[in-house]
Amino acid sequence: MILGVGIDIVEVADLERRLERETILNAFSAGEQEYADSLPLQRSEILAGRWAAKEAFGKALGSGLRTEWPLNEIEVAHDAMGRPVILLSARMARVLPFKAKVHCSISHSRAYATACVVIEQG
């Protein structure tokens, strides 16, 4: 059973401006930052995709991103095939219904990044 669906789109240039002016880099986990840094030409796109995934996760839950959530504990990693997977810290996992599974898809171009998250009853 599908419990929730969330989608978000991020303007890459807007995220770049925010990275310059605000302390939002800490919204990304060390692993997310390392992955983005490993692809310098796409760094902003990749971070924008992860920002979109965090927002989409909040939308799929129905609450949106809550200010008390540590965003770097909603982490996007990849499985062996390269598919994005959302890894939650123990405290963030507690916001999910029991045995819920989280599915994520991300796409990005130079201008925009988008992500879709589906939460399913496991």
Ligand X SMILES: CC(C)(COP(=O)(O)OP(=O)(O)OC[C@H]1O[C@@H](n2cnc3c(N)ncnc32)[C@H](O)[C@@H]1OP(=O)(O)O)[C@@H](O)C(=O)NCCC(=O)NCCS
Binding footprint of ligand X on the chain (CB under 6 A): 46, 49, 81-84, 105-108
What are the backbone angles phi and psi of residue 69, rounded to the nearest 5°? -80, 135
**Please, what is the minimum distance in Å from the beta carbon of residue 18 to ligand X?**
18
**Is 108 labeled as catalytic in the residue annotation?**
yes
Nearer to ligand X, 49 or 58 (CB): 49
How far is residue 85's CA from residue 115's CA, in Å, rounded to a whole number? 12
* Sign of the torsion formed by the C-alpha atoms of 53, 57, 60 and 66: negative
Q: How far is the CB of 111 from ligand X (least distance, A)?
A: 12
Tell me which of 99, 101, 103, 108 is the catalytic residue: 108
Active-site residue among 59, 99, 101, 103? 59
In the annotation, is 101 catalytic? no
CB of 98 to ligand X, least distance (A): 26
Measured from the CB atom, the residue of 106 and 119 that comes closer to ligand X is 106
| Residue positions annotated with a catalytic role | 59, 108
